[in-house]
Amino acid sequence: DTLGSSMDMAMELGVKGAPSGTLVLAESQNQGRGRLGRVWFSPKYKGLYLSLILRPDMLPTQAPMLTLLSAVSICEAIKAITGIDAQIKWPNDILVHNKKLAGILTQVVAETDKINFVIIGIGINVNNDRKALLSTATSLKEQRREDINRVSLLQEVLRRLETNYLVLEKKGSSQILEKWRLYNITLGKMVKIYCQGKHIEGEAVNIDIDGGLLIRKDTGITDKVMAGDVVHCR
């Protein structure tokens, strides 16, 4: 069912024991979901909408690293295929010229001390036309003024995901975090983060070893945030 949510299908497959590396592709998603239950309308044959099942040997608290790893992989793939320099807004947005190009949604199924499986949902605006995009969004086609081969981009995204995932498994998070810092546009900025009914304001000073964002508030106290909506103030 190409119109169904690829993440819902991946969740079904994950529960049934599908192996790590199982990929679900959708040509369009009328049930696509963004963070916080937002609907993401995905027109047919224009973008890449994929969900990947992984079964990492890591603690549930380390799962945010998979979002950072995915963001890095997407930026690397976009650069390799199109030459476009995309940037990462923590935790899960890929931007070009401050407009949203891609997003990542990670769902974790876990017990207290063990991840059963993770679904990484990725949506990339590839050949979406400007008139069909929100004013805050862009596509690779809009940036390049030409159609992009979606199969080539998909292959490159998967290659980069696999490479970075193996690095994370064998060497830990430090190399992934180094790459993330190169692409990110959040560190060094004054930010407001809205999370679970409250908001934190301060300077985004660093990323922690498990992917959390460290915010230095006016009081001098540093808070660690693992998720939330980020507004860059300047």
Per-residue pLDDT of the chain (234 residues; tens, 9 = 90+): 333 478 889 999 999 999 999 999 887 544 444 443 444 445 567 889 899 999 999 999 999 999 999 999 999 999 999 999 999 999 999 999 999 999 999 999 999 899 999 999 999 999 999 888 889 999 999 999 999 999 999 999 999 999 999 999 999 999 999 999 999 999 999 999 988 788 899 999 999 988 999 999 999 999 999 888 899 886
In order of 102, 131, 137, 138, 218, the CA distances from 134 in angstroms are 13, 8, 5, 8, 34
Q: Which residues contact 23 (CB under 8 A, 6 or more apart)?
A: 50, 51, 52, 53, 158
pLDDT at res. 234: 62
Does the pTM of the predicted model rise above 0.85? yes
| CA distance readout (Å), 160 to 25, 76, 96, 163 | 17, 7, 19, 5
